[in-house]
Amino acid sequence: MTTTTADVPADQRAFGIDVGGTGIKGGIVDLSTGALIGERLKIATPQPATPAAVAETAAELTRRFEWDGPVGLTLPSVVKDGVALTAANIDKAWIGTDARALFSEALGGRAVRVLNDADAAGLAEYHYGAGKDVSGLVILLTFGTGIGSAIIHDGVLLPNTEFGHMELDGDDAEHSAAASVRDERHLSWDEWTPYVSRFLRKMEDLFWPDLFIAGGGVSRKGHKWIPLLDNRTNVVAATLKNTAGIVGAAMAVAADLPN
Ligand code: BGC
């Protein structure tokens, strides 16, 4: 049975938007379960993905859902005090953009929160997904165009870690271990996973996590490659799949996180 807004009290609903390189996805989240209320909607990311064009797409998403409350949004960027400070895989025009002010204006002045995409996914997986009931230190890594990261200790997120840019063999780790590298170089799972193992071993030597959660589109095929990894720490596939960013963004605005 599909949940509708009528089934969930207003204070348990929030709206999340996940801004990615190819799609901008949104939906209403039931905060009591971490599930979406109704459908997830995806609009192709405008090209070029300038701040103004993305903000207009975000406004279009809220109109389609007839949502006029607060909105949480993700960006594939370091976000501090609402300002995007990096743009590794998106339009460089985002660097220095006050994303919180931009989105708030595009959404008629309402309250918004903007956070890093992997931080949002980490929050969502920790509370509702693969990290539920796990204590200690959890590191979520999203394998996609780049590698996003979130580190959470006993429920507390340390925002804006950029582990995908950790140096590995003289280059950013995401340049060898991102899922996009496997596609571009036509690597088999056996050929790609050694790069991921190397990255995870470096991470665990430095942080000693209790669990790694592997997210991003490639986590849907986790059974094909996670068993091939040879690092020490347990690795599990994310369970919220393509809704984690939306759910985490909604959580951020509902919890009034600092961003
Ligand atoms: C960016 C991160 C982002 C990740 C996933 C990286 O290239 O630097 O901020 O979280 O890609 O989108």
Question: Does residue 126 sit within a domain?
Answer: no
In this structure, what CATH number is given to the domain that contains residue 234?
Answer: 3.30.420.40
Question: Does residue 127 sit within a domain?
Answer: no
Show the domain range for 164. Answer: 133-239
Q: How many CB atoms lie within 10 A of CB 9?
A: 10
Coil, helix or strand for 75? strand
Query: Do 93 and 141 fall into the same domain?
Result: no
Whose tokens are 């959890």? That residue is: 138
Provide the domain count of the chain.
Answer: 2
pLDDT tens per residue, the chain (259 residues)? 567 877 888 889 999 999 998 999 999 999 999 999 999 999 999 999 999 999 999 999 999 999 999 999 999 999 999 999 999 878 999 999 999 999 999 999 999 999 999 999 999 999 999 999 899 999 999 999 999 999 999 999 999 999 999 999 899 999 999 999 999 999 999 999 999 999 999 999 999 999 999 999 999 999 999 999 999 999 999 999 889 999 999 999 998 766 6
Query: Do 41 and 82 fall into the same domain?
Result: yes
Question: Does residue 103 sit within a domain?
Answer: yes
Question: Does residue 124 sit within a domain?
Answer: no
- The whole-angstrom separation of Cα 249 and Cα 121 is 8
Question: Does residue 25 sit within a domain?
Answer: yes
Residue 77 is classified by DSSP as S
Question: Does residue 166 sit within a domain?
Answer: yes
Query: Do 139 and 108 fall into the same domain?
Result: no
Question: What is the distance in A from the centroid of ligand 1 to the CA of 249?
Answer: 15
Q: pTM, whole model, 2 decimals?
A: 0.96
DSSP states along 136-203: SEEEEEEESSSEEEEEEETTEEETT--GGGSEETTEETHHHHSHHHHHHTT--HHHHHHHHHHHHHHH
Coil, helix or strand for 1? coil
Residues within 6 Å of ligand 1 by CB? 76-78, 86, 88-89, 116-118, 142, 144, 146, 148, 162, 164, 174
Question: Does residue 70 sit within a domain?
Answer: yes
- Reference 124, options 92, 100, 148, 107; nearest CA is 148
Query: Do 235 and 247 fall into the same domain?
Result: no
Query: Do 148 and 42 fall into the same domain?
Result: no
DSSP states along 17-49: EEE-SSEEEEEEEETTTTEEEEEEEEEEPPSS-
Question: Does residue 154 sit within a domain?
Answer: yes
Q: Is the peptide bond before 48 cis (omega within 30 degrees of 0)?
A: yes
Query: Do 174 and 213 fall into the same domain?
Result: yes
Question: What is the distance in A from the centroid of ligand 1 to the CA of 7?
Answer: 35
Dihedral sign, CA of 126, 140, 222, 232? negative
